[in-house]
Amino acid sequence: MDDPFRVFPSRRSVVQSANGIVACSQPLAAQAGLKILRDGGNAADAAVAVAAALNVTEPTSTGIGGDVFCLYYDAATKSIRGLNGSGRSPAALTLSKARSDLSMPAAPAANAPLDGEGGIPMTHVHAVTVPGAAAAWVDVIETFGSGKIGLAGALEEGIRLAEEGAPISLMSSVMWAQEEAHLKVASPNYAEVLKGGTRAPKEGEIVRMPHLAETFRELVRHGKRGFYEGRVAQAIVDVIKGRGGCMELEDLKAHADAGSEIIHPVFMEYGGHRLWECTPNSQGLVALMALGILEKLQKDGVVPDFGKGKECEWKHNSAEYLHVLVEVLRIAFSDGRHWIADPQLGKVPTEGLIDKAYLAERAKLFDPHKRNNKIAHGTPAFQSCDTVYFSVTDKYGNGCSFINSNYGGFGSGIIPYHCGFALQNRGCGFSLHHSHPNALTPRKRPYHTIIPSLITDTSNNLHSVMGVMGGFMQPQGHLQVFLNLLVWGMNPQQAVDAPRISVGKPYDPRVTGVSVEEGVVGEEEVLKGLEGKGHDAMLVRGWYRAIFGRGQVVRCSYDVEDGQEDGGTRVWSAGSDMRGDGHAVGY
């Protein structure tokens, strides 16, 4: 009992399994993925099944009208590949048209800061980008799947739940109620996602989505063409144009023809392990930059090595510790919010942003005694690169880190006629300043907040499949959960249970302040300590804790004493965030 975190009051025990685990934010969706694993499918097959089921049980966060990113760990080759399933802006949506339709001047003032005007409002039709999830589901199955399940098998449980109905869990019902008024204003077809066509479902009430079931069947019958051409595509175009948007059938077909982008993820080494993230237009680089800056500060002795246990005088979530996390994240976000954009339509300094020499220069912005009020983006070298998150592992040793998002709740709230899903509002991620690297242009992917993650050792042996959902909270959650696991020695459930902080109030890291979740040891002392260093600190309680995201972790270990000749039996250990409705399930 020498583990200092053994007494942490986790509300759930770690789930253990030797065959595979699904950890997600909704129990029925977890069962959908588990069924695929029991039927012989792999982690990628199960991930798509979970995503489809969540479209029924938690459409308040995710669905086929949103986008997807995933990382896939192949145990046979110890390799990691990623998939960018994010959609693009319509070809007819130019920067000048967007500014005109939003009643903005044709161009910003000559001295206007790049981030000074804000972007496309979350409720505006121009925030709708081409939904990438449908193509991503097909591409995940075809690229990473086992070949035993297929798309029909992966969507079978989602279709059943949509048609027969599913009882709604607590957090989903709360988020649904928060979106009810928005849906009624946003779309003439709002009845398709409301109980009895009139209201948000209450906890325990059954919701049926027959139109969504038919949309899924179209995808099964015709592949990508079943979504990006034909009836569904026409319904998407019609409802967007009815709101004054400019998406065309060709925009949808072009996405299907191009397919999802298979990417080579990048990593940052820290303490003998690698944190893996997707490349831009995803914001995963922010987590890597923050981790790299932290490592430099520790190497130079500016802050202590947290891994020294009793030799480190700082406690977990102390004011001193949180000050370091806040500042390295603010430095990382200052670069990420400026440079991260669609690399297919402009130069993005991916390698330069995580270069150790560059991060060493950025680390000089850190002041151990106070908040630095003059942090601005740097200039790295250019070299030749609302949401549900869930983790899935299988009996073969593979892992799939998967995230599928509408962005803000039901996204735009715009529902194509007789399709049963809402369209995302990812276009909010664009800048409307013509000089910004992330400026809106036709057929461009915006800055994307959703980021799956994996942890390996330096030999690429899988350690954990990990992620934390929640807008700009995601890289912050990755950093905190990574350190909880590998520095503070927490198990997967403790790592996601532990109170978190969020830079900005509540989500946007550009906003001054830091939110501290209730439950930190010595709340008053921690808040006073942060305020003493110049931070505008706020304690967040109750339902508002949703701003800290919902995470899932599945960790890999081996039982080396069970008589196996190959080094032991693989054991998966999982934790699922208490801030959500879900859990981890294995078999």
Greatest alpha-carbon pair distance for the chain in Å reads 73
**Which residues make beta-bridge pairs with 242?**
none
- Distance in angstroms (rounded) separating the CA atoms of residues 341 and 336: 9
What pLDDT is recorded for position 6? 45
- Identify the residue whose tokens are 């510790």: 321
Go through 96-121 and write b for each residue having 16 or more CB atoms within 10 A of its CB, e for each that does not: eebbebeeeeeebeeeeebeebebbe
Neighbours of 417 (CB within 10 A): 18
How many Å separate Cα 555 from the centre of its chain? 19
What pLDDT is recorded for position 406? 93
pLDDT averaged over consecutive 10-residue blocks of the chain (587 residues)? 48 90 95 97 98 96 96 98 98 97 88 76 97 98 98 98 96 94 96 97 97 98 98 98 98 97 97 97 97 97 78 85 97 95 94 97 97 93 65 97 93 98 96 94 96 97 94 93 95 95 74 89 94 94 86 91 66 92 91
SS3 for 102?
A: coil
Q: What single-letter amino acid sits at 479?
A: L
Sheet hosting strand 67-74, strand order edge to edge: 261-263, 79-85, 67-74, 399-405, 387-393, 21-24, 583-586
The answer to whether the beta carbons of residues 441 and 430 sit under 8 Å apart is: no
Rounded to the nearest 5 degrees, what angle is found at the Cα of 19, between the Cα atoms of 17 and 20?
80
Tokens of 285: 């680089």
Secondary-structure percent of the chain, ordered helix, strand, coil, rounded to 5? 40, 20, 45
Rounded to the nearest 5 degrees, what angle is found at the Cα of 134, between the Cα atoms of 128 and 135?
100
Residues 6+ apart with CB under 8 A from 402: 47, 50, 51, 68, 69, 70, 140, 389, 390, 391, 392, 452
- Distance in angstroms (rounded) separating the CA atoms of residues 172 and 272: 39
- Distance in angstroms (rounded) separating the CA atoms of residues 370 and 26: 41
- Distance in angstroms (rounded) separating the CA atoms of residues 317 and 501: 9
Q: pLDDT tens, 398-452?
A: 999 999 999 988 999 999 999 999 999 999 999 999 999 999 999 999 999 999 9
The dihedral over CA atoms of 201, 204, 205, 211, expressed in degrees to the nearest 10, equals 80
SS3 for 73?
A: strand
Domains within the chain, CATH numbers bracketed: 24-88+97-263+387-426 (no CATH), 266-383+451-491+500-552 (1.10.246.130)
Q: Which of 456, 455, 503, 457 is nearest to 477 (CA)?
A: 503
Q: What single-letter amino acid sits at 70?
A: C
- Distance in angstroms (rounded) separating the CA atoms of residues 140 and 151: 9
Helices of type H across 421-509? 473-486, 492-497
Neighbours of 199 (CB within 10 A): 13
The answer to whether the beta carbons of residues 477 and 547 sit under 8 Å apart is: no
Q: pLDDT tens, 227-248?
A: 999 999 999 999 999 999 999 9
- Distance in angstroms (rounded) separating the CA atoms of residues 509 and 179: 24
Neighbours of 320 (CB within 10 A): 16
- The secondary structure of 332-387 as a DSSP string is HHHHHHHH-S-GGGS---HHHHT-HHHHHHHHTT--SSS--TT-----PPP----E
153: left (phi over 0), alpha (psi -120 to 50) or beta: alpha
Q: pLDDT tens, 369-408?
A: 999 999 999 999 765 436 678 899 999 999 999 999 999 8
Go through 444-476 and write b for each residue having 16 or more CB atoms within 10 A of its CB, e for each that does not: bbbbbbbbbbbbbeeebebbbbbbbbbbbbbbb
Tell me whether residue 373 is exposed, middle or buried, using C-beta atoms within 10 angstroms of its C-beta: 0 to 12, 13 to 18, 19 or more.
Answer: exposed
Residue 54: enclosing H or E segment and its boundaries? helix 43-57
Rounded to the nearest 5 degrees, what angle is found at the Cα of 575, between the Cα atoms of 569 and 580?
150
Q: Which of 66, 62, 67 is nearest to 50 (CA)?
A: 62
The answer to whether the beta carbons of residues 278 and 447 sit under 8 Å apart is: no
How many angstroms separate the first and last alpha carbons of the chain?
28
Tokens of 213: 């079931």
Pairing of strands 537-540, 387-393: unpaired
Residues 6+ apart with CB under 8 A from 288: 266, 267, 268, 275, 277, 354
Global pTM?
0.94
